[in-house]
């Protein structure tokens, strides 16, 4: 196939292109719907018993206000969606936000504020509830924006140095408060949704990690519900130095459910997070979507490999990422009974806000139909229930790329 003829991706190209790839999957908006925006949020005592205040990154020159969106549907079912938008964890990555105004080849790593005019009513894919092919067309949806650079798990304020952005001072503080934001939204959810029958916890890119890490809080809040988890374009391919170092993932002071991951959370590698949470909730149905050579995931892995190495043995970050991703999928398939994957051909990033949600079929089944089969798989452990829900992959996607 064409995707395997020649793959030579350089770090400079993929990092500079990451924001473009992220935006391209969100084209062709759906019709507007009756969404409500919630802002000016008061501090809460969260489900963890701690006080939490919602905020965005507070990067100088940005709007620190956090808000979220919700839309109630006619059914007793609920989607909780975590938005994506990159990540930052050191002076290099936090210095260059997406939409910073710097020309290429300046890199762009994370969304530092909620964009003006953002509205999930304009998104396609899962959010197009006018399409009869959408398996969540009558579900309520809570949309959690992302503006903290910490994959929705941080609870820290961190000072960084300017690595070359002329619009920033010599040093600045980032509020890595994605976990605090989730606790505020979860408090609202618990006050406004009484005993939903089914809950789909999902998210794209950084939001896929947010869904992975935070779905146990929703499972504990609604023990009677059937819980489904879909991590979109968030495969957990990192380096050990990123997972254990500071700077690295620990710059965020990540807050992971202690009854699963234990203290300290640095003991849980990123690639194991979904497996550990899935085993703790064997009646939940848990899944991942990715393309075989996701350009944005490759970009971030390339940065980790260069600065927080060594990573895998192959020097080509695209091939190295592909091999690591497939190795982890194989481990999940063998050892996590309630897990399934959808592995698509291509290099694009994320599917849930894209028209591809209704058309992607390289594994032999349209993605929205596969998601519908997952949502019909109710009850039972190990993925055994109603619905024909299986692992699927494009014909050559399970073959690791050769190192070159």
Distance CA 25, CA 129 (A): 18
Q: Average pLDDT for residues 386-390, to the nearest whole number?
A: 84
Do 356 and 25 meet the contact criterion of CB atoms below 8 Å apart?
Answer: yes
Do 127 and 115 meet the contact criterion of CB atoms below 8 Å apart?
Answer: no
Q: Average pLDDT for residues 263-290, to the nearest whole number?
A: 91
Do 84 and 23 meet the contact criterion of CB atoms below 8 Å apart?
Answer: no
Percentage of residues in the chain with pLDDT exceeding 90? 84
Give the pairing of strands 171-176 and 198-204: unpaired
* pLDDT interval class at 2 (50, 70, 90): very low
DSSP state string for 99-167: T--PPTTS---B--SPPTT--GGG--GGG-TT-TT-TTTTSEEEEE---SSSTT---EEEEEE-SS-TT
The fold of 2-393 is: Rossmann fold (3.40.50)
Place of tokens 């949020």: 41
Per-residue pLDDT reduced to its tens digit, 357-380: 999 999 999 999 999 999 998 877
pLDDT of residue 6: 36
* pLDDT interval class at 21 (50, 70, 90): very low
Distance CA 70, CA 139 (A): 11
pLDDT of residue 3: 41
pLDDT of residue 266: 67
Please say if the pLDDT value at position 382 is more than 70. Answer: yes
pLDDT of residue 265: 66
Per-residue pLDDT reduced to its tens digit, 189-225: 999 999 999 999 999 999 999 999 999 999 999 999 9
Place of tokens 């549907």: 73
Per-residue pLDDT reduced to its tens digit, 86-135: 999 999 999 999 988 888 889 999 999 999 989 999 999 999 999 999 99
Determine the Cα angle at 188 with ends 187 and 193, to 5°: 110
Enter the pTM of the model.
0.93
HSE of 223, CA atoms in CB hemisphere, 13 A: 1
* pLDDT interval class at 64 (50, 70, 90): very high
Decide: helix, strand or coil at residue 12. Answer: helix
* pLDDT interval class at 162 (50, 70, 90): very high
Please say if the pLDDT value at position 292 is more than 90. Answer: yes
pLDDT of residue 163: 97
| 36-38: strand order across its sheet | 36-38, 68-71, 140-144, 77-82, 198-204, 226-232, 285-291, 339-344, 392-393
Average pLDDT, the chain: 91
């Amino acid at each position: 196939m064409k995707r395997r003829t020649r793959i030579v991706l350089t770090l400079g190209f993929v990092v500079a292109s990451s924001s473009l790839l992220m935006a391209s999957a969100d084209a062709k908006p759906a019709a507007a719907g009756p969404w409500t925006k919630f802002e000016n949020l008061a501090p809460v005592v969260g489900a963890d018993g701690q006080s939490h205040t919602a905020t965005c990154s507070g990067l100088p020159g940005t709007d620190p206000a956090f808000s979220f969106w919700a839309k109630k549907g006619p059914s007793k079912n609920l989607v909780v969606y975590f938005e994506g938008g990159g990540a930052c964890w050191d002076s290099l990555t936090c210095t260059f936000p997406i939409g910073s105004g710097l020309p290429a080849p300046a890199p762009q790593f994370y969304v530092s504020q909620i964009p003006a005019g953002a509205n999930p009513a304009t998104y396609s894919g899962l959010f197009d509830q006018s399409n009869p092919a959408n398996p969540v067309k009558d579900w309520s949806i809570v949309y959690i924006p992302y503006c903290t650079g910490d994959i929705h798990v941080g609870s820290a304020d961190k000072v960084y140095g300017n690595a070359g952005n002329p619009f920033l001072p010599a040093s600045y503080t980032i509020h890595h408060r994605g976990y605090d934001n989730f606790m505020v939204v979860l408090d609202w959810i618990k006050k406004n949704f009484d005993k939903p029958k089914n809950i789909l916890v999902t998210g794209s890119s950084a939001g896929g990690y947010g869904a992975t890490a935070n779905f146990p809080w929703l499972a504990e809040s609604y023990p009677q519900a059937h819980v489904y988890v879909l991590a979109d374009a968030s495969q957990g391919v990192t380096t050990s130095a990123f997972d254990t170092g500071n700077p690295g993932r620990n710059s965020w002071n990540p807050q992971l459910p202690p009854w699963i991951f234990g203290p300290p959370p640095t003991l849980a590698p990123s690639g194991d997070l979904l497996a550990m949470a899935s085993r703790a909730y064997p009646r939940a149905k848990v899944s991942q979507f990715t393309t075989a050579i996701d350009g944005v995931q490759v970009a971030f892995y390339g940065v980790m490999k260069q600065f927080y190495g060594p990573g895998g043995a192959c020097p080509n970050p695209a091939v190295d990422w592909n091999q690591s991703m497939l190795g982890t999928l194989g481990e999940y398939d063998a050892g996590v009974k309630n897990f399934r994957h959808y592995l698509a051909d291509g290099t694009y990033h994320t599917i849930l806000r894209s028209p591809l949600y209704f058309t992607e079929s390289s594994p032999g089944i349209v993605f929205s139909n596969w998601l519908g089969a997952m949502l019909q798989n109710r009850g039972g452990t190990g993925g055994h229930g109603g619905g024909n829900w299986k692992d699927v992959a494009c014909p050559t996607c399970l073959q690791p790329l050769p190192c070159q």
